């Protein structure tokens, strides 16, 4: 069954030059041609809201981005995990050809019976049923080569009550932009302030990079904006230096706030040599 919902426009998050495309995206084209073509980076988040519940679990077999002609570009679905209310959860990511896109297709797992919604500790979980495929439309957006883009899928459960079986329809979903009051920021400093240094913001639960920026070549300061709230780690690279990934405790970003990351000093490659 296919249904359609509406939402707002999607936005981008910081600059981008990132790692190789995930397997799902690479499979669409021969390896040689895919490597030569520029790609746009996209991450899709789920935001459950509208009801006082403990957690929600939603597993998807596939997530695809739809262009203006309805053609699908496959994304890599992230394994399901319980999601707290009003918390962002990464459900898909990948790299697609640049161009204009205006929708998402969510495909349920065949015979999936474990999707559930728990209202309070100790209460029975409410089962949720997804159609075979759920198509969500949003205001068309232009995905640019070598840029990172964020789309948020909101699941509105305001009218769901304990003990009621939930049929997940398009009217409960809306795909669109990360609003200004939801978006978070992150800033910090890295030394040496190399002109070719790169700083990646990683979604801590999965290690997936959501954005990349380059620090100021004189001060080493860097800033990320437009990130979904949540837990983040950092990866830093610079010529002649050992890569850095940390900190050990992820950095928590709150909605509408900018957090400060610990200052990092990259070590030269030769310092890792055992004498």
Element (H, E) at 138: strand 133-143
pLDDT at 14: 42
Strand 184-191 with 173-176, pairing: unpaired
The residue assigned the tokens 């399901």 is: 80
Q: Which residues pair with 176 in a beta bridge?
A: 152
pLDDT at 20: 39
pLDDT at 179: 85
Measure Cα distances from 111 to 73, 170, 174, 235 in Å.
24, 20, 24, 39
pLDDT at 193: 82
* CA–CA dist 111, 126 (Å, integer): 17
- pTM for this entry: 0.81
The residue assigned the tokens 């029975």 is: 124
SS3 string of 97-123?
CCEEEEEEEEEECCCCCCCEEECCCCC
Sorted by where each starts, the structural domains of the chain and their CATH numbers stand as 4-176 (no CATH), 184-272 (2.60.40.10)
Six-digit token string for 43 = 């991450």
Six-digit token string for 109 = 């797992």
The one-digit pLDDT tens for each residue of the chain (275 residues) are 333 333 333 333 344 333 333 444 344 444 444 456 889 999 999 999 887 788 888 878 899 999 988 899 999 998 877 778 888 999 999 999 999 999 999 988 776 556 788 887 777 788 888 888 899 999 898 999 988 999 999 999 888 887 788 888 888 899 988 888 889 999 999 998 877 899 999 999 899 999 999 999 999 999 999 999 999 999 999 999 999 999 999 999 999 999 999 999 999 987 554 33
pLDDT at 274: 39
Q: How many helices (H) and strands (E) in the chain?
A: 2, 22
pLDDT at 6: 37
pLDDT at 36: 63
Measure Cα distances from 16 to 19, 98, 100, 119, 206 in Å.
10, 13, 18, 39, 19
pLDDT at 100: 93
């Amino acid at each position: 069954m296919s249904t359609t919902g509406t939402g707002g426009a999607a936005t981008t998050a910081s600059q981008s030059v990132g790692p190789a495309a995930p397997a799902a995206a690479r499979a669409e084209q021969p390896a040689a041609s895919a490597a030569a073509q520029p790609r746009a980076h996209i991450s899709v988040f789920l935001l459950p809201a509208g009801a006082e519940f403990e957690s929600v679990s939603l597993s998807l077999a596939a997530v695809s981005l739809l262009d203006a002609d309805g053609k699908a570009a496959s994304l890599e679905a992230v394994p399901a995990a319980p999601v707290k209310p009003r918390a962002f959860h990464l459900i898909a990511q990948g790299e697609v050809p640049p161009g204009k896109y205006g929708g998402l297709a969510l495909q349920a797992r065949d015979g999936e019976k474990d999707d559930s919604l728990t209202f309070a500790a100790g209460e029975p979980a409410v089962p949720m049923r997804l159609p075979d495929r759920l198509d969500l439309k949003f205001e068309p957006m232009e995905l640019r080569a070598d840029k990172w883009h964020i789309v948020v899928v909101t699941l509105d459960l305001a009218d769901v009550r304990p003990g009621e079986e939930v049929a997940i329809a398009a009217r409960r979903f809306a795909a669109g932009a990360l609003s200004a009051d939801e978006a978070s920021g992150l800033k910090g400093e890295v030394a040496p302030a190399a002109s070719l240094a790169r700083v990646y913001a990683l979604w801590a639960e999965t290690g997936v990079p959501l954005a990349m920026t380059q620090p100021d070549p004189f001060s080493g300061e860097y800033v990320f904006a437009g990130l979904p709230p949540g837990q983040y780690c950092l990866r830093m690279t610079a010529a002649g230096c050992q890569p850095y990934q940390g900190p050990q405790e992820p950095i928590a970003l709150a909605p509408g706030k900018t957090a400060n990351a610990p200052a990092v000093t990259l070590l030269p490659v030769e310092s890792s040599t055992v004498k």
